[in-house]
């Protein structure tokens, strides 16, 4: 038995956008995360809101939301979606690691995994941009899907 052909590869080997036109719309959600590893000085400046550029959490939250809404402009084979909601939340894993968790939802023929992932990635990049004057060695790690619901494949959760 051969492996199934990837959905974005046409029989001739070219790239193609998956046709979702005949799929029934269903409620779909996705959650994603990114970790931002900062120096103690950058983490303290972020926590204490003393960064020269202003409130990094507000900027990153807005950037993540805006990015999710523009995912199809950034990812070539992603479908434009009417995103119903996007959330961007922050929590400290430890003194110097910020966890960004995002969520997205829609009612449509395809999922919002890419929207949640793009939101997490751009929110993390915004934290980097806001903190880079304090620490250029900030690392963004573990950008990943945590969960998706809806559609033909149902619910999936990271282990």
CATH architecture of 26-157: 2-Layer Sandwich (3.30)
Q: What is the pLDDT of residues 74-125, one digit of tens each?
A: 998 899 999 999 999 999 999 999 999 999 999 998 899 999 999 999 999 9
Q: Does pLDDT of 4 surpass 70?
A: no
pLDDT reported for residue 3: 67
Residue 1's pLDDT band (boundaries 50, 70, 90)?
Answer: low
Contact residues for 155 (Cβ-Cβ < 8 A; gap 6+): 147, 148, 149
Work out the end-to-end distance of the chain between its first and last CA atoms, rounded to an integer number of angstroms.
Answer: 28
Active-site residues: which are they? Answer: 129
Q: Average pLDDT for residues 21-29, to the nearest whole number?
A: 84
Of 3-7, 25-29, 98-102, highest mean pLDDT: 98-102
Q: Average pLDDT for residues 136-154, to the nearest whole number?
A: 95
Contact residues for 10 (Cβ-Cβ < 8 A; gap 6+): 16
Q: Report whether 116 contacts 31 (CB < 8 A).
A: yes
* Cα–Cα distance, 40 to 156 (Å, whole number): 35
Q: Average pLDDT for residues 128-140, to the nearest whole number?
A: 97
């Amino acid at each position: 038995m051969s492996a199934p052909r990837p959905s974005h590869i046409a029989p001739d080997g070219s790239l193609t956008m998956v046709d979702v036109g005949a799929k029934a719309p269903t409620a779909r959600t996705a959650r994603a995360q990114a970790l931002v590893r900062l120096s103690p000085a950058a983490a303290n400046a972020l926590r204490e809101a003393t960064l020269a550029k202003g409130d990094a959490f507000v900027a990153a939250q807005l950037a993540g939301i805006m990015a999710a809404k523009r995912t199809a402009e950034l990812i070539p084979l992603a479908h434009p979606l009417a995103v119903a909601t996007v959330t961007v939340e922050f929590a400290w894993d430890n003194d110097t690691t910020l966890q960004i968790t995002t969520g997205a939802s829609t009612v449509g023929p395809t999922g919002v995994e890419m929207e949640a992932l793009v939101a997490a990635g751009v929110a993390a990049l915004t934290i980097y941009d806001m903190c880079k004057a304090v620490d250029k060695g900030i690392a963004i790690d573990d950008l990943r899907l945590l969960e998706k619901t809806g559609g033909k494949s149902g619910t999936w959760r990271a282990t």
